[in-house]
Structures are given as structure tokens and as C-alpha cells.
Amino acid sequence: MLTHRQIRYFLAVSEAGQVSAAARALNVSQSAVTLSIKDMEGLLGTPLFERLPSGVRLTRAGQQFRHHAQTIAASFEAAMKSVSARDETLTGTVRLGMSWTLSSYFAMPVIEQFSREHPHVCVTLTEDLRAQLEQDLLADRVDLALVLTSNLSPDLGLRSRTFRRSQRRLWVSVDHPLTRLKRVTLADVARYPYAILRSDDAEKQGLAHWTDATGHPEIKLTSASIEAVRSLVASGQAVTILSDVVYRPWTLEGRRVETIDLVETIPTMDVGIAWNGARKLSPVALRLREAFEKSIPSI
């Protein structure tokens, strides 16, 4: 039977792309991680990782297992927190800004749990674009902002803490021709119609991968709706490169989206909290920042 520790080790390796890096992040020996992965592959009866000269990458079976493992890890953390004691002593108000994508995928479960643990703290919420949230932090309109820290503007005096580095992968339909290739490059992807998600700077990031060397794909759709992009990809009419944060395998119509790791290194999407470095955070703001740090799994 698989253990929670094995799930943690598997997710750490899938994120780091190297057993040694995962072991350092977990503060355990490299041999412990290696043996754990081997035991998992033996139990499941299939390789989860392809061994490469520079590290490892997920097999197709490993990619499918990763999505279930993420759900298991999140459920375990929620179960642990559900029995934590309420703190009746912490009082006050904390103003939280959220970017559009992260409010949908991260914020609400953390805020719900935080409010149960600290019933006398009021959390006010603002949702906006990253650039506006940066200005809100500088103008003291919010205390904290849940943002993509990889996209923060430099030299504004903002500080940030990254909780999760989410891999960007290629999304395709289950029967797409690219699923039959052993190695998929950006040049391969450029031959097919492409969909861009217009949300949290994703539009800019979606076009950043393409150069004259790779070629430029035909843009089939630019949309602010993740479900529209997901449906277009699942129907085989386009492909896209997006973060694991927004990946869900099934569309609203019941079609499936598969993911593929590209040969090229694609920058991660970094999720975290930002605040104004010129101002001291209140005790309630510090506690909420801590809640996000503990609740968002670093996988």
C-alpha cells in the first residue's frame, strides 16, 4: 500500500526533475527518495519516471498518477488542518489582494480554514490584475497580495515569498499526433494551431516561448476563459502550454486533456505572497501569510 511519505517524495521529484534536488528540498537522503520511487513503481507495476542524463522526467503513466497524487496530498493536508485548535485570541482585520487565477485555484480553501481557526479575524478580499495589486500594496490599500511572484515588477520595494513553483506543460487532446512522439519540441508544437489564456500575464507568457528558431504557431484563440481553452484543446482544434496550477484533465463536456513534458526547459509559474517591504506586517497579516505558506503544497 502506498504511504503519504511516498506520495510526498514522488511529487517532490516530479517538481524538481532531479532526485538529488528533491532530496535536498525534503531534507532527506537521496537514497531514501530513490528507494521510495522504486517501491512505488513496483507497487504500481509501471515506471513513473524516465531516467535522463540530467535528471528524470515523468512517463505518461507518471503524468497521470501525478494528478491523483496532488489530490491525495491536498486532502491529507486538509484533514490535518481540520482537527487543529481554534485560536480565540487573535483579532483584527487583514486585507488580501488576489490575482484572478490564484483566487480561483488557491485562495478560498485557505481563507476558509484560516477563518475557522481564527474566528475573530476579518479577512477582506480584493481581486485584480497583478499590476493593480502592486499599486494597492504600495498605497497601503491591501496588506498582502496572492500573486505570481515570477511576474512581479522589480524595483518597486515589494517583498515576496514563493510557495510553489508550478511546471508549465503542453496540453493536447488524447488522440493528438504529438502524443505519438517520444520527444516533443517547441518546433513540433509550432506546427499546430495554438490557444492562449488571457489571465494573470498568461498571454505574455504564452507568446514568450516562440522564436525564429522554433517557429511561431498560428493563434487559434485568445481567451480569458480557461474552460474555453481547455475545451478547444480537448477537441483537438488547438494545443497550448499552461501551468499545472490550472490543469484539470476533464472538460465540462467530458472530454480529456493530456499533458506532455517538452524537451526545452519552460520557466515555471511561481505562486506566492507579496507585501510592501517598507511597512511592517501586522500579527494577523503575518498569520495569514503563514497559513498560505503551509496550505499551498510545494510540489
Strands 219-223, 194-197: parallel, antiparallel or unpaired by DSSP?
parallel
Q: Which fold has domain 92-165+270-295?
A: D-Maltodextrin-Binding Protein; domain 2 (3.40.190)
Whether 4-82 and 168-267 share one fold: the answer is no
Q: Give the integer Cα–Cα distance in Å for 46 and 43.
A: 8
Q: Is residue 135 a contact partner of residue 152, using CB atoms and an 8 Å limit?
A: no
- Asked if residues 130 and 151 have their Cβ atoms less than 8 Å apart, the reply is yes
* Cβ(157)–Cβ(278) below 8 Å: yes
Which CATH code for domain 168-267?
Answer: 3.40.190.10
High-pLDDT (> 90) share of the chain, %: 41
Pick the CATH number of 4-82 from 3.40.140.10, 3.30.565.10, 3.30.70.890, 1.10.10.10: 1.10.10.10
The model scores a pTM over 0.85 = no
Q: Are 125 and 98 in contact (CB under 8 A)?
A: yes
Are the C-beta atoms of residues 61 and 50 closer than 8 Å to each other? no
Asked whether 239 and 176 are in contact (CB, 8 A), the reply is yes
pLDDT tens-digit map of 155-201: 898 999 988 888 889 999 999 999 999 899 999 999 999 999 887 66
Q: Which residue has the higher pLDDT, 68 or 227?
A: 227
For residue 73, pLDDT over 90 is answered with no
Q: What is the mean pLDDT of the chain?
A: 87
pLDDT at 82 over 90: no
